Amino acid sequence: MNAKELSDAIQTYVRTETFPVGVSLVKEEANLPQKAKRPTRDLGYQITICQAVGFSRRYGWSIAMNGADLSCPIAQVAFGYEEQLPFYSEGNLACGMYTDSLETGAKSEQDVPKLSKEESGYYVSYPLERAEIDPDVVVIYGNAAQVMRLVAGMLYKRGGSIPSTFSSRADCADIAIKPLQTGEPQVIVPCYGDRLFAQTQDHEMAFSFHFRDAQELVDGLVGTQKGGVRYPIPSFLRYQAEFPPTYQKLTGMFGEGKEKELTS
């Protein structure tokens, strides 16, 4: 299955409002998609990783970036562009904002998935339907019902449940790095930065997975649709409406008129 086929299937069975996005880690600049925008070169400023995904899913742009294009210091560390300096690892970025102490802040920073410099590369995001390369990871934003639909599809053949973790921070690492490191799909509650910088809305969640699982997901979407798990979710409508007393009185008058016609 290629990226375009996956995109078509997602739109058929999940109907997302924004483009499903592919994410690739590309080692060499020469291998970047030709039409990809480089933030500092083409936009004139640095951006966050979540903004890159936002450009891809809302504008349909391909974005290619490395540390020189990246404004977020947490992502600089997570994606292997900068070292974990003591000021970071001690918890100073989290303390006072997300945690009540340096000790708990250090736990939060330690928990962020990270790539080594050897594992790192250009972070490339793009809409699946316009993919020039195969993605490493796919991320799909939608409402809670759409994410539920994706979870059901992914579990159709494997059963059980999907393990995910939530921290309200650094969802860019949970989206891209965690599926690569664990091999497991992730349900994503967008973090504060994703909402603040990438304009992710209150009703949105996300679902990310390793691209090698694409066929399994699509097979599951097909199978669960046949089984009755669908989106939009059909509302229960098989009941008789109840009306106010005056409406019921008029309905009775209709009946009285018909009785008079039959007896006349």
Question: Could you read off the pLDDT of 119-175 as tens digits, one per residue?
Answer: 999 999 999 999 998 999 999 999 999 999 999 999 999 999 999 999 999 999 999
Q: Is the pTM of this model over 0.85?
A: yes
Per-residue confidence (pLDDT) for residue 255, from 0 to 100: 81
Judge contact between 209 and 186, C-beta under 8 A.
yes
Average pLDDT over the chain reads 95
Say how far residue 135 (Cα) sits from the centre of its chain.
15
Model confidence at 264: pLDDT above 80: no
161: three-class secondary structure by DSSP: coil
Query: Which ranges of 156-228 would DSSP assign to H, the alpha helix?
Result: 171-182, 192-197, 214-227
Q: List the domain boundaries for the chain.
A: 3-227
Per-residue confidence (pLDDT) for residue 167, from 0 to 100: 92
pLDDT band, very low/low/confident/very high, at 231 (cuts 50, 70, 90): very high
Judge contact between 26 and 19, C-beta under 8 A.
no
The set of residues, in sequence order, having a beta carbon less than 8 Å from that of 197 and lying 6+ positions away, is 47, 48, 50, 51, 54
Over residues 51-78, the mean pLDDT reads 97
Pick 261 or 237 by higher pLDDT.
Answer: 237
Judge contact between 21 and 6, C-beta under 8 A.
no
Over residues 85-96, the mean pLDDT reads 96
